[in-house]
């Protein structure tokens, strides 16, 4: 499909297509389907416990022998004293919604549900040895990264600027995901907090390709064969698609979330911090419009989600996505409701056709 087969050779996969690791929306069934179809299925572990991660990985191993990617966040924990003050202010900002939905305002703030990669997760990787391990928000400590590499896993992380890409390469990444401005979910930014300086996929990919020697994977606004061919023309060795896979029946998303995706327009998304405390692209809903998109009151990542969780749960019980994170990239209108394996194969076939290649 592409003259540059470095990603396929690096990971041992047939197709240069990676399913993005979308925490909270993807479990083993989608990973298995994508990997079996020849792409690289990705299991997001940031919202899973050790026991859940083990269970999902064992299920993957029982269903496929193909390579898989296991993904983790590696953010720094917020400072406790400052975090408590911010959480209280944040809960006061949301108090009117608590009253509207009949939720006790004294309800304890729940855990954010997003954990950073640590020694316990590293031990699990050492035991189960997945082929690929990827990170978001930079990389873990040198000691943890060295342990991951000793398992034989190839290491990926996301860059949103050329400086981040160079940093990742110099710190041992085998490949880099160039995450354009259009991408859904959390920005992988880690050397800057300035979202106004973030770069679109069309401009970012070729600049990162020119700046590093490792293979580059394009991500952001890619949802069909036209986007894949464009990414190859920009110098990418592979593509990573997220929002396109949310339309698959394997996606673990709520009915309101699925309905919002089905109705999405090209200008429907916003970068917002109201659901986690960190910029992430999602479909605009009531909370985003009324409190965000970017709120100075939102506690540091990942704490903002704790006070929002009761609102989300109550609203979803009544079929509303007003308080749910509806992560989506800017190309949601191109989504197709196909099983994940079929979508992967069809993307490959359509890309070959556009490139004038014979079917595989």
The band of 115, judged by pLDDT with boundaries at 50, 70 and 90, is confident
Verify that 238 and 203 share a domain, yes or no: yes
10 Å Cβ neighbour count for 41?
Answer: 31
How does the average pLDDT of the chain come out, rounded?
95
Distances (CA, A) of 307 to 109, 117, 156, 212, 317: 5, 23, 32, 41, 17
CA neighbor of 277 nearest in space, from 109, 44, 107, 155: 109
The contacts of residue 217 (CB under 8 Å, 6+ apart) are 7, 18, 156, 175, 176, 177, 178, 236, 237, 238, 239, 240
Whether 360 is in a domain gets the answer no
Query: Which tens digit of pLDDT belongs to each residue from 253-311?
Result: 999 999 999 999 999 999 999 999 999 999 999 999 999 999 999 999 999 999 999 99
pLDDT of residue 80: 59
Residue 244 near residue 343, CB atoms below 8 Å: yes
**40/70 Cα distance (integer angstroms):** 10
CA neighbor of 203 nearest in space, from 182, 189, 224: 182
Supply the pTM of this predicted model. 0.95
Verify that 31 and 44 share a domain, yes or no: yes
Verify that 279 and 179 share a domain, yes or no: no
Verify that 87 and 207 share a domain, yes or no: no
Whether 263 is in a domain gets the answer no
Verify that 201 and 303 share a domain, yes or no: no
Question: Mean pLDDT, to the nearest integer, of 108-126?
Answer: 86
Whether 339 is in a domain gets the answer yes
pLDDT of residue 36: 98
**305/87 Cα distance (integer angstroms):** 10
Confidence check: pLDDT of 112 > 70: no
Whether 137 is in a domain gets the answer yes
Confidence check: pLDDT of 108 > 80: no
The band of 22, judged by pLDDT with boundaries at 50, 70 and 90, is very high
Verify that 149 and 292 share a domain, yes or no: no
Range of the domain at 280: 78-112+269-327
Half-sphere exposure of residue 190: CA atoms within 13 angstroms, side-chain side: 20
CA neighbor of 223 nearest in space, from 187, 255, 186, 180: 180
Question: Mean pLDDT, to the nearest integer, of 156-177?
Answer: 98
Q: What residues are paired with 175 via a beta bridge?
A: 156
Query: Which tens digit of pLDDT belongs to each residue from 226-242?
Result: 999 999 999 999 999 99
Question: Mean pLDDT, to the nearest integer, of 82-109?
Answer: 88
Give percent of the chain with pLDDT exceeding 70: 97
């Amino acid at each position: 499909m592409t003259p540059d087969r470095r990603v396929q050779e690096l990971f041992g996969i047939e197709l240069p297509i990676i399913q993005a690791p979308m925490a909270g929306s993807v479990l083993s069934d989608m990973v298995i389907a994508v990997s079996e179809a020849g792409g690289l299925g990705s299991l997001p572990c940031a919202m899973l416990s050790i026991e859940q991660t083990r269970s999902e990985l064992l299920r993957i191993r029982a269903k496929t022998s193909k390579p898989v990617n296991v993904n983790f966040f590696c953010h720094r924990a917020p400072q406790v004293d400052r975090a408590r003050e911010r959480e209280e202010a944040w809960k006061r900002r949301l108090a009117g919604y608590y009253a509207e939905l009949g939720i006790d305002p004294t309800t304890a703030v729940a855990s954010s549900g997003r954990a950073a990669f640590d020694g316990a997760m590293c031990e699990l990787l050492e035991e189960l040895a997945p082929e690929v391990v990827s990170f978001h928000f930079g990389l873990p400590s040198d000691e943890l990264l060295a342990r991951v590499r000793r398992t034989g896993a190839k290491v990926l992380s996301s860059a949103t600027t050329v400086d981040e890409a160079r940093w990742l390469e110099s710190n041992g990444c085998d490949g880099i995901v160039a995450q354009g401005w259009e991408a859904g979910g959390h920005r992988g930014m880690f050397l800057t907090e300035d979202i106004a300086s973030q770069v679109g996929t069309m401009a970012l990919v070729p600049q990162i390709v020119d700046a590093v020697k490792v293979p580059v994977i394009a991500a952001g606004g890619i949802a069909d064969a036209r986007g894949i061919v464009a990414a190859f023309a920009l110098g990418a060795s592979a593509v990573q698609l997220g929002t396109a896979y949310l339309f698959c029946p394997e996606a673990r998303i709520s009915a309101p979330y699925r309905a919002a995706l089905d109705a999405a327009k090209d200008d429907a998304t916003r970068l917002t911090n109201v659901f986690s405390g960190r910029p992430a692209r999602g479909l605009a809903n009531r909370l985003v419009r009324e409190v965000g998109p970017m709120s100075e009151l939102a506690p540091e990542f990942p704490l903002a989600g704790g006070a929002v969780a009761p609102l989300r749960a109550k609203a979803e019980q009544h079929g509303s996505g007003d308080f749910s994170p509806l992560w989506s990239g800017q190309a949601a209108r191109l989504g197709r409701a196909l099983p994940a394996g079929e979508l992967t194969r069809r993307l490959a076939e359509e890309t070959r056709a556009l490139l004038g290649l014979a079917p595989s």
